[in-house]
Amino acid sequence: MNIKLKNGLRIVGEKMPHVRSVAVGVWVGVGSRAETAAENGISHYMEHMLFKGTERRTAAQIASEMDAIGGNLNAYTTREYTCYYAKSVDEDVETVFDILSDMYTSSSLGEAETELERGVILEEISMYEDSPEDVAQETLAKLVFGSDPLGYGIAGTRETVLGITSGDLRAFMTKYYTAKNTVIALAGNFDEEKIRYLCEKYFGTVPEGFSYTDYGTAPFCAGETEKQKDIEQTHIAIALPGIAQNSEERYVMSALCGAFGGGMSSRLFQKIREEKGLAYSIYASPEGFKNAGILNIYAGVSPENADLVCELIQKEMQDILKNGLTEEEFLRSKSQMRASYIMGQESVSGRMQVLGRNMLLYNKIQKAEDVLSGIESVSRREAEKLAERLFASEWAKACVCPKP
């Protein structure tokens, strides 16, 4: 299913007739990457506010009506988009559309609710600040991307959140919550004609507006930075230049990261955790955005072992540069990629997420056979050539360390 309403809103869906549930997502093309420094956190604030009541429903009624059908309703904000999603049994799909559209089109954004939710968001920021791994990753993003909005924290800062008003939120909604900047994605058991009718009924009058997902490139800034907190471990976050989320090399990147630090059999896990016993958590993963990306490496270690672990990470990169990947570890990584994708496709929510993200950011449907073919086509030499390009780069490193 791939249709567009007269106002420009896109609907994409995949039927799974063997299930009795349906997942629906409303994807809005705005996240922290679209914000200014002064309004940082407003996308995330808006996500919270859509659950706080509409012209027809209180916050309690939104929750109780969804619970009454046994459904799930939630949302999240990223650097590039915001997603509101629900899952229910197939017979209740119109109730899901009614609630999601009411939140999207008629959120009250009242001053009292805005002030009340401000306290909740400040508590959420405090929660992240109590997680040293989160602090390390946020600090790394600011170091790598500098003043580019990709380096902003998704929840914003205490200062910016304190400055956001209900008027700011209403202006933000008018600008970004528009038909051309929104995608509705579905997966599960549904009737296509009924979904077309529901989309017209509940979203057909959304103002046309503009799309805001044409993000440019972002810089990569090498260097090192450190923060001190009252903790026991040193948390190390390292970034190397990566690739964009939709790059033709995305499967090559995933295969390389899988062999290097993507699982229990990976180089980093085996060498640093299993053989040396220097870390409980250590991994490497690709982090891709539109027209930008990094290779992210993380380790949580004892302070006295931090330098040694960084040396061992570099040593493993140098070994791959010198000797390449073994056929066994390369094929194992590809098998993990393939299995992970196939198992993810067995979930209606997982399928909906893939459909929504790809349609919103890239205006296309990613077919399962194309993904599996892309994974299968990756060669070991391609992964080694990508390693030669990325591992030779100067890295950025952020450490969150115990106070002396």
Catalytic residues: 47
Are the C-beta atoms of 181 and 43 separated by less than 8 Å?
A: no
Tokens 């800034």 identify what position? Answer: 221
Are the C-beta atoms of 102 and 111 separated by less than 8 Å?
A: no
> What is the spatial distance between Cα 120 and Cα 89, in angstroms, rounded to a whole number?
31
Strand partners, 80: none
In the numeric block, which tokens belong to residue 57? 């429903």
In the numeric block, which tokens belong to residue 279? 């870390």
> What is the spatial distance between Cα 2 and Cα 16, in angstroms, rounded to a whole number?
15
Are the C-beta atoms of 74 and 80 separated by less than 8 Å?
A: no
| 256 closest CA partner among 220, 296, 201, 223 | 296
> What is the spatial distance between Cα 79 and Cα 75, in angstroms, rounded to a whole number?
14
> What is the spatial distance between Cα 291 and Cα 272, in angstroms, rounded to a whole number?
32
| 107 closest CA partner among 19, 34, 43, 46 | 46
Burial class (CB in 10 A: 0-12, 13-18, 19+), 95: middle
Strand partners, 239: 296, 396
* H/E run at residue 238: strand 234-241
Are the C-beta atoms of 28 and 181 separated by less than 8 Å?
A: yes
In the numeric block, which tokens belong to residue 327? 């056929």
Tokens 């180089």 identify what position? Answer: 267
- The letter for the amino acid at 13 is G
Strands (DSSP E) found in 333-402: 396-402
